[in-house]
Structure 1
């Protein structure tokens, strides 16, 4: 039980705390936390207002933030999504390392908007924007080696997608989260998670996202040492992909996948299982690669190095690893640099 001082003593102490003449000791901090129901951080910020009238009890500020959240219109939500798209474009071309602070602030703004939005019609659009931004931020965090931050961002993205009632966003965040497990050496668990992502998406998924999920499953099965499952998933990805050169999924802004991208992904998976067809697929993808996907080109060079190593063609592998190392250093990709070093040890 806490030993609370007399009212007269407390008045003296409060006056001294307010005027800065006495610090709040550990003992009284414990008492005040219990009496006021606040944290240490809140206590340090409220020491000067402990004797304030009841009108300043926090409700005015809370209602102000709720009222402000009501003014987040669909136009503002679109602005949030446009910012996410800008960060996504900058990430593709320059890497994630230089965007950490900006993306963190962007996520905090969206979380705040969702926290103080009350009614579903206000919350769902913000939750959808947050789901997309959190998943993007998670992949960037994974790329720069901040794996726990990546995991937490994926969890945030999944929660936001569930609140937004957006199965496609939930499936995408869950599928990308499987890569964290895969990179950590838990490929069999990652296979289970990627298949669960397909279940979560269900019939709501677009054909392009469906193809993307099967391609991701193929890569993760390859890394799990499941070549037959890998090949079956690649076939499903090929059958699901819509025809034509268009890569962007209009229903899922973060998904880029056309025949050229899938050819590269196929080469990646085949290289991982040691299939001789990997080299031709990867060179075809390299010739047709989108020049704006600069960070992704490091991964393609690593794929080619892996395919050449499997064939005992070490000179070609050395050259692709040299280029991959340069690109990964330029974009600040810790994930790709780690892969370069792992492949270099095989030479």
Structure 2
């Protein structure tokens, strides 16, 4: 049980003392009682060395602080509960309930996903793990007992949107295994809904898990396969997103020529105007301004010193509610300044990025910041 807590604490770069401070700060913010500092230090040590079981009360605090599920925290899975032999009445009741899923209920599912997406954008993923887990569970449960395609398809599409969001949050929290499983769930739901555009997007986004795991070349292959399977279908915005994602993975895979070609392809098809949302894929936020920011990120990864001006332009135009994206921009600027040998400017951008990354609790961005710090 203690291995889970120790692993996720280490992923955040926190010492045991830091975790104790975070627990105390959380308790003060939410006006709840916790043990004294001395006792908490003992608890953390005993939890990690499996001499004390994490109580449900402290587990709820730790999940929100560390952005993990209960299984990841406790490093164990609950024992399977055997099914009752006489459970037919309950089964039929759940099937009947799923048959009556209305448009308003599906809209409620999608609205909840949108609320979680907005909260994630502004506050980060760490505090949303319990809510996201419950939301996915309700969607999966509804889909499991929906019999006819007419009832399954809208729920499956809602599940695709929720599970890709959950997967991206898991990447941000440094949990690549959970992210991979959420993308697999999204792909199954997209196939169930017979939605090739949703399947292509979920498959291509899954490539970011490979990138984070140190296999960007394989990620490039996965994005290209997703794009080939889609062909000319899908909106111009989705096509532009797929090209831009390929460019980013190519940059990480040290394929500069391929990255630049993919960037040019994205620029050629991106729709004009200020609209950012795709009509069919609510998880895609992309217009010319966003693509310029993406281009700056890719050029910074390629070591192009000319990325600085476009990144500053993107930072000035950015929606201030995109807190995590702002942190990413500051990281890109730091990288671009380093390429130009502008160490003071790079250090300023790193410090700003760290402040924003701390606000959202992003493990992924902290890792990028740590890599930059080693070069300053």
TM-score normalised by the chain length of structure 2: 0.78
1:304 is aligned, of 323, 333, 336, to 333
Say whether residues 1:289 and 2:318 are aligned partners: yes
- What is the 5 A alignment of 1:43-82? 43=82, 57-82=86-111
For 2:225 and 2:113, locate their aligned partners in 1 and report how far apart those are by CA, in whole Å. 26
Runs of 4+ in 1 over 2 A off after TM superposition: 39-43, 200-204
Q: CA deviation at 1:42?
A: 3.3
Q: CA deviation at 1:306?
A: 0.6
- What is the 5 A alignment of 1:296-335? 296-335=325-364
Q: CA deviation at 1:339?
A: 0.6
Aligned to 1:196: 225
For 1:269 and 1:69, locate their aligned partners in 2 and report how far apart those are by CA, in whole Å. 45
Aligned to 1:52: none
Say whether residues 1:258 and 2:287 are aligned partners: yes
Aligned to 1:51: none
Q: CA deviation at 1:128?
A: 0.6
Aligned to 1:151: 180
The alignment's C-alpha RMSD in Å is 1.4
SS in 1 for 2:273: coil
Aligned to 2:160: 131
Say whether residues 1:274 and 2:313 are aligned partners: no
Q: CA deviation at 1:100?
A: 0.5
For 1:121 and 1:219, locate their aligned partners in 2 and report how far apart those are by CA, in whole Å. 38
Aligned to 1:50: none
Aligned to 1:42: 81
2:170/2:178 contact within 8 Å kept? yes
Q: CA deviation at 1:69?
A: 0.7
For 2:136 and 2:279, locate their aligned partners in 1 and report how far apart those are by CA, in whole Å. 23
TM-score normalised by the chain length of structure 1: 0.84
For 2:131 and 2:248, locate their aligned partners in 1 and report how far apart those are by CA, in whole Å. 31
2:176/2:213 contact within 8 Å kept? no
Aligned to 1:104: 133
Q: CA deviation at 1:40?
A: 6.7
**Shift in alpha-carbon separation, 1:113–1:233, aligned structure 2, 3 A:** same
2:176/2:212 contact within 8 Å kept? no
Q: How many residues align?
A: 299
Aligned to 1:161: 190
Uncovered stretches (5+) of structure 1, i.e. residues with no partner = 1-38, 47-55
Q: CA deviation at 1:288?
A: 0.8
**Shift in alpha-carbon separation, 1:344–1:249, aligned structure 2, 3 A:** same
Aligned to 1:227: 256
